[in-house]
Every structure is written in structure tokens, then in C-alpha cells.
């Protein structure tokens, strides 16, 4: 059955894509689509952040002008009459306006709660006041400073939508001081904890129980670490004794020499051999030579048997297990552990005392 040539003809006549129609090797990463904000909600957020900022500014100015410090400053600047005019004329209207604004915030909060219930924003209808706890507490006159949280959250929401609420240098500076504050607070907490831990280590009872519990919890790890060190450092050196060109030859030669010297310094053997005429001295020299060879062969045989890899590994395991079961009632061990802990705490304390914020590029702002 003849094969149709249609596919090949279509491939031959298909246009070859030029450089402009080729797909790029690495397509550019797709940018996440930024959600389009609701204009009404956006305008409402802007109005609320402006209103809350003005309210907090007026509250701060009023609190400063109504303080005793302002009275002393006004007397020093000789503007007591202007201050009294404010206190007698503008203070009460500002408090009344602040009260109306508080009532507006309460009504606005209840309205948003009702909208959240209607739209099923939260899993339960009573979750709203817990989520917006700062707004609920900010409705109380004594806690009006918490309204700043809402202004900050609205500003953060606008910033996430791409609106520059504050200049970027201001934002960088605010982030820098927040990081500085958090770092200093965390450093103080960590240093205090280290100091308390040092005081506990100076107590003999606490120190003893700490060492016992630490070793008891980590006996397996201690055994594994010791076994690893023995296998890495000690086993190769012991196995080198079996090499004829290494320590094995030296030990074998010394052993052979010792046996030869022992035979030579045995007077009874020499006296008996001298009783044999003519061949006595020859037998003595040959016997010493044979003793030398026996000593070398014994050393090589012992090394080969005792330093067998399997037996040697069993020996290392037994040694590591014995070290892991060490008795904690040991003054040298207490001194060693105390020194290691103290050095570790000292190094950690030195790292904590390093003020990382001094090395940030934000200092150049």
C-alpha cells in the first residue's frame, strides 16, 4: 500500500519562522496583577486617615497646651494671656468636637460590623471586634491614642495598593528606627537571660543537675562522636603498625633485638652451649639470630590478628561506649563542661552586643 506524501509536502511548504517570530529562550517573568481598588473605598480610606490624623494632632496639641509645663513655658515667654485665652475659649469646643468624632467612630465601627456580618467576612459574627480590637479600644476617650493604629493600617493598605502615602526616605527612616528599637529590646532580653543563666551555673546544685541531665540526654550523641573520632584518627594510626615499612618494622626490629639480647645475656644457656665442642659458639650465634627472627614474626602476627579491621572496630565501639557511660561525679568533668559553657556564653554575648543597625546603609540617608 503506497504511503501518502501529503504530510511531507506540507512540511516542505511550511514557512520557516524568522528571527522575529521565534519564541524567546527565557520569557520574561509575569508580573502579578495588582488588584484594582474600589474608588469609593479608596476615597473613604483617604478621608478617614486624614480625619484621624487631624483628630490625633488636635488631641496632642490640646494635651500639651493644657499641661502645667505649657503654663511655665508661657510665663517664661510672657504669653500667658494667649494661653489662658485658648484654655478658656478653644479648649471646650475642641473637646466637644472630639466627642462628636468619637461618636462618629463608634457609629462607623458598628456599621462596618453590620456589613461584615452581612457579607460573611469572618467565620463567626462576633469575630469582628476581636480582629479590630484597636478600633474598639480607641473609642474610649482614655485610649484615643490607639486610633493611630487604624491610621497606620490604612496607610499600609494604600501603600500595598501602590499609593505613596509617605515619601520613600521617610518610610526607610521609619523602618530603620523600628529595626533599631526591636534589636535593642531583643538584645537586652537576651543579655538578661544569659546573665540569669550564668547565675544558675554558679549554684552547685543547679550546676550539678544541669551537667547530669545534659550528659544523660546526649549519651548516644557522645558515643557516636567519640566513635567517629576514634575511627577517623586512631584506627589509621593503629593500622599503620601492620605495615612492614612503617611502625611495624620498627616494633618488630626492637622485639627481635630484645629477644636476641635476652638470649645473649642468659649465662646458663651460654654455659651449656660452651660445653659443646667446636659447634657451641656457632649454635649460640644461630640461636640468637633465630630468636631475633622469632621476635619479628611474633610482632607481625600479633599486629595482623589484633589489628584486624573487624576486631579493631569492635574495640573502638567498646571504647566509645565506655566513654559515653562516664560518671558525672567527676571534678575534672565539671571543670571542663563549665569552661565550655562559659566560653560559649561569652562568645554568644559578644555577638549579641554587636549593634547591627550601625552597619546598615540606612545610616547614610
pLDDT of residue 126: 87
Residue 32 forms part of a structural domain = no
Q: What letter would DSSP give residue 166? A: S
Residues 262 and 291: beta-carbon distance below 8 Å: yes
Q: State percent of the chain over pLDDT 70.
A: 75
**For residues 106 and 291, what is the distance between their CA atoms, to the nearest angstrom?**
109
**For residues 195 and 205, what is the distance between their CA atoms, to the nearest angstrom?**
18
| Domain-ending residue, one of 138, 165, 192 | 165
C-alpha cell of 92? 471646650
Confidence of residue 24 (pLDDT cuts 50, 70, 90): very low
Which carries the bigger pLDDT value, residue 86 or residue 160? 86
pLDDT of residue 6: 41
- Residues 6+ away with beta carbon under 8 Å from 288: 260, 263, 264
What mean pLDDT comes out for the span 109-137?
Answer: 89
Residue in 105, 163, 157, 113 with CA at minimum distance from that of residue 135: 105
What mean pLDDT comes out for the span 100-109?
Answer: 90
* Residue 221 and residue 143 in one domain: no
**For residues 314 and 308, what is the distance between their CA atoms, to the nearest angstrom?**
10
Residue in 209, 295, 203, 204 with CA at minimum distance from that of residue 254: 295
pLDDT of residue 229: 85
* Residue 135 and residue 225 in one domain: no
Residues 104 and 52: beta-carbon distance below 8 Å: no
Helix (H, G, I), strand (E, B) or coil at 94: helix
Residue 30 forms part of a structural domain = no
In this predicted structure, the answer to whether residue 13 has a pLDDT above a threshold of 70 is no
Q: Which domain holds residue 106?
A: 39-165
pLDDT of residue 110: 93
Residue 158 forms part of a structural domain = yes
pLDDT of residue 113: 92
* Residue 214 and residue 147 in one domain: no
**For residues 293 and 301, what is the distance between their CA atoms, to the nearest angstrom?**
12
* Residue 319 and residue 212 in one domain: yes
**For residues 242 and 248, what is the distance between their CA atoms, to the nearest angstrom?**
5
Residue 175 forms part of a structural domain = no
* Residue 161 and residue 51 in one domain: yes
| Total tally of structural domains belonging to the chain | 2
Residues 284 and 271: beta-carbon distance below 8 Å: no
Residue where the block lists cell 520574561: 28
Residue 188 forms part of a structural domain = no
Confidence of residue 5 (pLDDT cuts 50, 70, 90): very low
Confidence of residue 3 (pLDDT cuts 50, 70, 90): very low
Residue 363 forms part of a structural domain = no
Q: How many CB atoms lie within 10 A of CB 256?
A: 21
* Residue 218 and residue 321 in one domain: yes
Residue 136 forms part of a structural domain = yes
**For residues 164 and 158, what is the distance between their CA atoms, to the nearest angstrom?**
7
Buried b (16+ CB within 10 A) or exposed e, 336-356: ebeeebeeeeeeeeeebeeee
Cα-Cα-Cα-Cα torsion 220, 317, 250, 269, nearest 10 degrees, comes to 140
* Residue 155 and residue 213 in one domain: no
Helical spans, DSSP H, in 161-266: 168-202, 204-217, 219-229, 235-239, 247-264
In this predicted structure, the answer to whether residue 159 has a pLDDT above a threshold of 90 is no
Residues 258 and 298: beta-carbon distance below 8 Å: no
Residue 221 forms part of a structural domain = yes
- Choose the weakest-confidence range: 189-203, 240-254, 333-347: 240-254
In the chain, % helix, strand, coil (3-state, to 5) comes to 80, 0, 20
**For residues 296 and 291, what is the distance between their CA atoms, to the nearest angstrom?**
9
* Residue 214 and residue 279 in one domain: yes
| Domain-ending residue, one of 137, 165, 193 | 165
13 CB-side CA count, 13 A: 6
Confidence of residue 245 (pLDDT cuts 50, 70, 90): low
Q: What letter would DSSP give residue 218? A: T
* Residue 146 and residue 246 in one domain: no
Q: State percent of the chain over pLDDT 90.
A: 2
Mean pLDDT of the chain: 75
pLDDT of residue 51: 87
Residues 241 and 307: beta-carbon distance below 8 Å: yes
What mean pLDDT comes out for the span 152-167?
Answer: 76
* Residue 57 and residue 138 in one domain: yes
In this predicted structure, the answer to whether residue 114 has a pLDDT above a threshold of 90 is yes
**For residues 294 and 252, what is the distance between their CA atoms, to the nearest angstrom?**
9
Q: What letter would DSSP give residue 162? A: T
Buried b (16+ CB within 10 A) or exposed e, 285-317: eebbeebbeebbeebbeebeeebeeeebeebbe
Considering 112-116, 148-152, 216-220, 227-231, the range whose residues carry the highest mean pLDDT is 112-116
Confidence of residue 194 (pLDDT cuts 50, 70, 90): confident
* Residue 213 and residue 161 in one domain: no
* Residue 132 and residue 245 in one domain: no
Amino acid at each position: 500500500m503506497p504511503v501518502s506524501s501529503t504530510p511531507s509536502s506540507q512540511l516542505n511548504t511550511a514557512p520557516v519562522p524568522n528571527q522575529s517570530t521565534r519564541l524567546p529562550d527565557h520569557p520574561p517573568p509575569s508580573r502579578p496583577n495588582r488588584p484594582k481598588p474600589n474608588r469609593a473605598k479608596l476615597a473613604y480610606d483617604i478621608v478617614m486617615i486624614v480625619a484621624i490624623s487631624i483628630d490625633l494632632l488636635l488631641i496632642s496639641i490640646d494635651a500639651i497646651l493644657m499641661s502645667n509645663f505649657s503654663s511655665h513655658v508661657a510665663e517664661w515667654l510672657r504669653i500667658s494671656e494667649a494661653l489662658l485665652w485658648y484654655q478658656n475659649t478653644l479648649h471646650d469646643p475642641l473637646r466637644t468636637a472630639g466627642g462628636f468624632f468619637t461618636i462618629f467612630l463608634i457609629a462607623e465601627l458598628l456599621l462596618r460590623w453590620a456589613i461584615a456580618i452581612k457579607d460573611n467576612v469572618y467565620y463567626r459574627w462576633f469575630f469582628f471586634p476581636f480582629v479590630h480590637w484597636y478600633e474598639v479600644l480607641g473609642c474610649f476617650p482614655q485610649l484615643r491614642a490607639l486610633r493611630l493604629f487604624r491610621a497606620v493600617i490604612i496607610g499600609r493598605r494604600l501603600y500595598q495598593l501602590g499609593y505613596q502615602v509617605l515619601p520613600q526616605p521617610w518610610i526607610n527612616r521609619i523602618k530603620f528606627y523600628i529595626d533599631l528599637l526591636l534589636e535593642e529590646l531583643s538584645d537586652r532580653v537576651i543579655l538578661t537571660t544569659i546573665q540569669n543563666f550564668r547565675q544558675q551555673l554558679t549554684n552547685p546544685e543547679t550546676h550539678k543537675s544541669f551537667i547530669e541531665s545534659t550528659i544523660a540526654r546526649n549519651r548516644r550523641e557522645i558515643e557516636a562522636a567519640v566513635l567517629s573520632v576514634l575511627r577517623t584518627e586512631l584506627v589509621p594510626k593503629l593500622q599503620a603498625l601492620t605495615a612492614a615499612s612503617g611502625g611495624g618494622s620498627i616494633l618488630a626490629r626492637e622485639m627481635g633485638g630484645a629477644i636476641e639480647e635476652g638470649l645473649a645475656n642468659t649465662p646458663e644457656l651460654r654455659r651449656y652451649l660452651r660445653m659443646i665442642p667446636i659447634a657451641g659458639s656457632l649454635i649460640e650465634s644461630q640461636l640468637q639470630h633465630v630468636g631475633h627472627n622469632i621476635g619479628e614474626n611474633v610482632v607481625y602476627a600479633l599486629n595482623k590478628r589484633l589489628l584486624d579491621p573487624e576486631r579493631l572496630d569492635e574495640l573502638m565501639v567498646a571504647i566509645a561506649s565506655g566513654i559515653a557511660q562516664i560518671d558525672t561525679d567527676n571534678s575534672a568533668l565539671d571543670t571542663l563542661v563549665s569552661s565550655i559553657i562559659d566560653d560559649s556564653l561569652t562568645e554568644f554575648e559578644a555577638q549579641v552586643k554587636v549593634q547591627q543597625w550601625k552597619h546598615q546603609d540606612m545610616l547614610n540617608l
